[in-house]
Chain A
Amino acid sequence: MASVCVFVETAKGKLKKSAAEVLGEAKRLAGGGDVDAVLIGHGVSGLADDVAALGASRVLVTDDDAFGHFSVDGFGAALSKAVATSSPRVLLVAASVVGKDLAPAVAASTGSALLADVTAVALNDASVTATKPIFAGKAIANVSGNTPMVVVTLRPNVFEPATASDGAAANVESVDAGVSKADLRTIVKEILALASEKLDLTEADIIVSGGRGLKGPENWHLIENLAEAVGGVCGASRAVVDAGWRPHDEQVGQTGKTVSPKLYFAIAISGAIQHLAGMNTSKCIVAINTDAEAPIFKVADFGIVGDAFEVVPVLTEELKKLRE
């Protein structure tokens, strides 16, 4: 029995970056004790060694064609089965798109408290406590879960990832979830627009976001070129998304994504409270805006008052030179 159990997420046959983050935090919480990891998918067994290298003492694997696609039914049942074997105090799951479906399902089916999207977590004698941004980061709640097991989802990009060591081979146990494809009640008929290879905003180290001041989608090469020059991902304000210039999944803010990259560029974005809520935990914020009074400058570590159409191309060139 391990005190801490984690769900490790995979995509396209590889562990996701979040797997190292949940394992890093699990090892810290276990304080040298054992950590169980749960791996679920189709054709994922081969990743068990990678999971062990990141510090899992035991890897509980469910590998079956019922798990080729994520489903709340399938993965929920498999993870619930695995935690019954592990019976941990804490179950850690990344607060990713998958984790945000999976963790509540398992919490509900096991009657556990859920501490969602936390930025810090601690194990105490009587409870599991965590720090959790609320109101999109306009306040921070200190919460505790008092059930025998507490399910915690970790905000991506916040926790120190475990580094892989060439440890012993994995101690693998397979778990039969007792679920077949025919049992799944939600069926993925097709995947329409295949997501591009780009990193999800919440996982990106550098984000370059553009706002309404860029005048139209035809000017987005300014944002894209800068993003490419710094190895970042493109984001947007809601004004831009509402206008249909950029897709929904690029929106940063209270009704978009909450991000905390190392470096955030806000270009021609005014800095409305709902936008700030989604990005003000970024480690470093750069703002470029023609209006010296724009609220974005109040949170920006570095600001340039100027026309994005002039400043951004020059900045992009400078940064490109650095990379060469």
Chain B
Amino acid sequence: MNFVVCLKRVPDSAAKIKVAADGKSIETSGVDHVISPYDEIALERALQLREEHGGEVTVLCLGLPEASKEIRQALAMGADKAIHLKDGGGSRGPFEIAKALAEVLGSIEADLVLFGKQSIDADNGAVGIMTAQLLGRPVISLVTKLEIADGKVLAHRESDAGTEVVEASLPAVVTAQRGLAEPRYPSIKGIMQAKKKPIDERDAPASEGSMALDSIVPPPERQGGRIVGEGVDAVAELVRLLRQEAKVL
């Protein structure tokens, strides 16, 4: 069984985000980068499924040359090999990322392709669905439980209706929601082995500019910080403020 996990290198969720001098990107010096959290969850489940069913886990990442660190991290967690589409920089919309990933995925035999439900920098929640569409494969999003049997995936997904049990034939695409798996920490042995695992480096296709990032600005400053008072004595004043000043009650 061939599993492919698409993962993205993103600033750590604890990072303070500052707009860079060009007004179109963010300051990256002093910012730690990580595998996007949902992608790490997807990777963990792929590793577990490989342990159950045999096969290989390949990670696929479109990202700057620096992303080799996050790719090594994935290999240290236990992925077998990697494809790194090296990005020269600049912004890409989700559709362009999906096209680049779909092109690679179309040329390798992947029974199951796993994505995160969303990257925590772009926050589009789109690349997985788009890639599935481009590949012409069924997709199940927001998956919290995932099993494989008889050439099919059986998944639980969180929809507005509740927890749906959804089935699709392989090859298929899923996007991971929290709850699917708890990512492992790489072992020392894993880290050593990762150094020898192959990374197939290719140039990412040029961006087509169907979408442009015109500028990035900081969010509007909140005028917070007003302490109404201490303990139960402050409740009456809080209620008055909510009604008369904020007018939200």
Establish whether residues B123 and A192, one from each chain, have CB atoms under 8 Å apart when the complex forms: no
SS of B interface (majority) = mixed
* A140, CB-defined interface residue at 8 Å: yes
**Could you say which of B43-51, B56-64, B66-74, B164-172 contacts chain A?**
B164-172
**Could you say which of A24-32, A50-58, A299-307 contacts chain B?**
A299-307
Establish whether residues B222 and A185, one from each chain, have CB atoms under 8 Å apart when the complex forms: no
Q: Which residues of A contact B179 (CB under 8 A)?
A: 248
Q: Distance (Å) between the CB of A183 and the closest chain B CB?
A: 11
Chain A residues 253-275 with CB under 8 Å of chain B are: 254-256, 262-263, 273-274
Interchain CA distance A135-B214 in the complex, whole Å: 16
* A190, CB-defined interface residue at 8 Å: yes
* B78, CB-defined interface residue at 8 Å: no
**5 pairs of residues in contact across A and B, judged by CB atoms under 8 Å:** A104-B124, A192-B156, A195-B159, A305-B230, A306-B234
Known: A140-B219, A143-B213, A189-B166. A116 touches B126 (CB 8 A): yes
* A14, CB-defined interface residue at 8 Å: no
Q: Which residues of A contact B239 (CB under 8 A)?
A: 315, 318-319, 322
SS of A interface (majority) = mixed
CB-contact partner of A113 in B167, B178, B210, under 8 A? B210
* B161, CB-defined interface residue at 8 Å: yes
19 more A-B contacts (CB under 8 A) besides A139-B26, A301-B224, A322-B239?
Answer: A73-B138, A104-B125, A105-B129, A135-B26, A138-B17, A139-B217, A188-B166, A192-B163, A193-B162, A195-B159, A200-B160, A230-B249, A248-B179, A255-B120, A255-B178, A292-B227, A298-B225, A319-B249, A322-B249
Establish whether residues B249 and A186, one from each chain, have CB atoms under 8 Å apart when the complex forms: no
Interchain CA distance A109-B11 in the complex, whole Å: 30
**Could you say which of B105-113, B196-204, B240-248 contacts chain A?**
B240-248
* A3, CB-defined interface residue at 8 Å: no
* A45, CB-defined interface residue at 8 Å: no
Per-residue contact bits, chain A 229-252, to B (CB 8 Å; 1 contact, 0 not): 010000000000000000011010
* A76, CB-defined interface residue at 8 Å: yes
For B, the interface residue count at a CB cutoff of 8 angstroms equals: 83
* B122, CB-defined interface residue at 8 Å: yes
* B30, CB-defined interface residue at 8 Å: no
Size range of the interface on A? 35 or more
Establish whether residues A185 and B121, one from each chain, have CB atoms under 8 Å apart when the complex forms: no
Establish whether residues B246 and A284, one from each chain, have CB atoms under 8 Å apart when the complex forms: yes
* B80, CB-defined interface residue at 8 Å: no
Q: What's the A-B contact tally at a CB cutoff of 8 Å?
A: 275
Interchain CA distance A111-B235 in the complex, whole Å: 55
Q: Which residues of A contact B169 (CB under 8 A)?
A: 185
Interchain CA distance A322-B249 in the complex, whole Å: 9
Establish whether residues A97 and B93, one from each chain, have CB atoms under 8 Å apart when the complex forms: no
* A115, CB-defined interface residue at 8 Å: yes
Chain A residues 12-56 with CB under 8 Å of chain B are: none
Establish whether residues A273 and B16, one from each chain, have CB atoms under 8 Å apart when the complex forms: yes
Interchain CA distance A136-B243 in the complex, whole Å: 30
- Interface on B for A, CB 8 Å cutoff? 11, 13-14, 16-17, 19, 26, 37-38, 93-95, 98, 120-127, 129-134, 138-142, 144, 154, 156, 158-169, 177-179, 209-219, 222-232, 234-236, 238-239, 241-243, 246, 248-249
* A59, CB-defined interface residue at 8 Å: no
The 5 closest A-B pairs by CB, nearest first: A185-B138, A108-B133, A104-B126, A104-B129, A138-B17
Establish whether residues A114 and B16, one from each chain, have CB atoms under 8 Å apart when the complex forms: no
Interchain CA distance A135-B160 in the complex, whole Å: 24
Establish whether residues A143 and B214, one from each chain, have CB atoms under 8 Å apart when the complex forms: yes
Chain A residues 286-324 with CB under 8 Å of chain B are: 286, 292, 297-307, 310-311, 314-315, 318-319, 322
Establish whether residues A104 and B133, one from each chain, have CB atoms under 8 Å apart when the complex forms: yes
* A180, CB-defined interface residue at 8 Å: no
* A117, CB-defined interface residue at 8 Å: yes
Q: Which residues of B contact A322 (CB under 8 A)?
A: 239, 243, 249
Q: Distance (Å) between the CB of A190 and the closest chain B CB?
A: 5
CB-contact partner of B98 in A108, A230, A273, under 8 A? A108
**Chain A residue nearest in CB terms to B246:** A284
CB-contact partner of B161 in A103, A135, A194, A304, under 8 A? A194
Establish whether residues A189 and B242, one from each chain, have CB atoms under 8 Å apart when the complex forms: no
Interchain CA distance A311-B239 in the complex, whole Å: 12
Establish whether residues B124 and A116, one from each chain, have CB atoms under 8 Å apart when the complex forms: yes
Chain A residues 113-143 with CB under 8 Å of chain B are: 113-117, 127, 129, 132-143
Establish whether residues A285 and B224, one from each chain, have CB atoms under 8 Å apart when the complex forms: yes
